Amino acid sequence: MEFILRKLVRCIHITFFLIIFFSSKIVYSADFTFPTSLTTDTSDFVLLSDTGTTPSVSGFSTEVLITITTTAGYIKVTTVTGLEQIHGLCGYTADSSSVPTNCTDSDRSEIGFQGTQAEVNTALATLSFKGDGATSNTTISVSATPEGASYNPVNGHYYRVLGSFTTPPQAVDWADARTEAKSDAKKFNGLTGYLVTITTEQENNWIKEKISTNAWTGGSDSETENIWKWMDGPEAGQTYTCQKYVEASVGGTGATISGCSEQSYLNWVPGEPNSHRTASDGWDEDYMHLYGDRTDVKFGQWNDFPSPATVGNNVVTKYIVEYGGMGGTATVFGSASLSINSTEVDFFVDKDLVGIIEGQSESAKRFIYSSTYPVLERMEWYRTTKKNDNIKFQDIGIDIDITNKDTYPYAKLLDAYLLKGDVNKEQKLSNKNIEKFINELPLSKYLKNEFGMVPRKWKIWSSGYLKKGKIKLKSGKVNQEFDSDALTLGMDKIIRKNTLFGIAIRLEDQDTDVGQLGTKIKSNAKSTTIYSSWHNNKSTFIDGLVGYGYIDNDLTRIEQANTSNTLTGNRGVKQYFTSIKFNKIRDKDNFTSLLFGRFDYGLSKLESFSELGNTHALRFEEQNLKNKSISIGALTKYKKKIKKGYFLPYGRIEFFENLTPDSEAKASYISDPNTTYYYTVKEDYSNSLKLELGFDLNLIDSWYFSTSIRRLIKNNKDYENEFAIKVSKPF
Instruction: Output the DSSP codes for 456-521.
Output: TT-EEEEEEEEEEEEE---TTPPPEEEEEEEEEEEEEEEEETTEEEEEEEEEEEEEEEETTTTEEE
pLDDT greater than 80 at residue 189: no
Q: Which of 514-523, 559-568, 589-598 has the lowest mean pLDDT?
A: 559-568
Three-state secondary structure call for residue 19: helix
pLDDT greater than 90 at residue 543: yes
Percent of the chain with pLDDT over 90: 21
Could you tell me which residues are beta bridge partners of residue 324? none
For residue 313, what pLDDT is reported?
Answer: 67
Comparing CA positions, the residue from 550, 557, 547, 506 lying closest to residue 358 is 557
Give 442's Cβ-side CA count (13 Å radius).
16
Gap between the Cα atoms of 632 and 687, Å rounded:
12
Comparing CA positions, the residue from 366, 362, 364 lying closest to residue 354 is 362
Q: Which of 213-222, 392-401, 514-523 has the lowest mean pLDDT?
A: 392-401
Comparing CA positions, the residue from 360, 350, 243 lying closest to residue 681 is 360
CB atoms within 10 A of CB 731: 18
For residue 465, what pLDDT is reported?
Answer: 62
Report which of residues 467 and 161 the model is more confident about. Answer: 161
Three-state secondary structure call for residue 717: coil
Average confidence (pLDDT) over 49-73: 83
Gap between the Cα atoms of 710 and 399, Å rounded:
12
The 3-class SS string of 378-436 reads HHHHHHHHCCCCCCCCCCCEECCCCCCCCCCCHHHHHHHHCCCCCCCCCCCCCCCCHHH
For residue 346, what pLDDT is reported?
Answer: 52
pLDDT greater than 80 at residue 194: yes
The DSSP code sequence of 200-230 is: SHHHHHHHHTT-SS-EEEEEEEEEETTEEEE
Predicted TM-score (pTM) of the model is 0.47
Report which of residues 159 and 443 the model is more confident about. Answer: 159
The DSSP code sequence of 437-461 is: HHHHSHHHHHHHHHH----TT-EEE
For residue 247, what pLDDT is reported?
Answer: 44
- State the burial class of residue 353 (Cβ atoms within 10 Å of its Cβ: 0-12, 13-18, 19+): buried
Percent of the chain with pLDDT over 70: 68
Report which of residues 287 and 251 the model is more confident about. Answer: 287
Average confidence (pLDDT) over 36-63: 79
Gap between the Cα atoms of 530 and 455, Å rounded:
16
Gap between the Cα atoms of 487 and 466, Å rounded:
9
Tens digits of residue pLDDT in 651-701: 999 998 888 888 888 888 887 777 788 888 877 667 888 888 988 777 765
Average confidence (pLDDT) over 469-491: 68
Helix (H) or strand (E) holding 22: helix 2-23
For residue 472, what pLDDT is reported?
Answer: 56
Gap between the Cα atoms of 697 and 385, Å rounded:
12
Report yes or no: 527 and 505 within 8 Å, Cβ to Cβ.
yes
CB atoms within 10 A of CB 401: 16
Report which of residues 620 and 18 the model is more confident about. Answer: 620
CB atoms within 10 A of CB 634: 14
The per-residue pLDDT of the chain, averaged, comes to: 75
Amino acid at 237: G
For residue 395, what pLDDT is reported?
Answer: 33
For residue 423, what pLDDT is reported?
Answer: 42
Gap between the Cα atoms of 80 and 84, Å rounded:
9
For residue 726, what pLDDT is reported?
Answer: 59
Helix (H) or strand (E) holding 359: helix 351-385
Gap between the Cα atoms of 731 and 701, Å rounded:
9
Could you tell me which residues are beta bridge partners of residue 669? 618, 672
Distances (CA, A) of 525 to 310, 463, 554, 572: 68, 16, 12, 10
Three-state secondary structure call for residue 155: coil
Report which of residues 582 and 454 the model is more confident about. Answer: 582
For residue 239, what pLDDT is reported?
Answer: 92
For residue 631, what pLDDT is reported?
Answer: 92
Q: Is the N-terminal amide bond of 374 cis, ω within 30° of 0?
A: no
Gap between the Cα atoms of 659 and 493, Å rounded:
34
Residue 407: band (very low, low, confident or very high) from pLDDT cuts 50, 70, 90: very low
Tens digits of residue pLDDT in 355-379: 888 888 888 888 888 889 888 887 8
Average confidence (pLDDT) over 346-357: 76
3-state helix, strand, coil split of the chain in percent (to 5) is: 20, 40, 40
Report yes or no: 522 and 531 within 8 Å, Cβ to Cβ.
no
Q: Which of 81-95, 104-118, 242-256 has the highest mean pLDDT?
A: 104-118
pLDDT greater than 90 at residue 572: yes
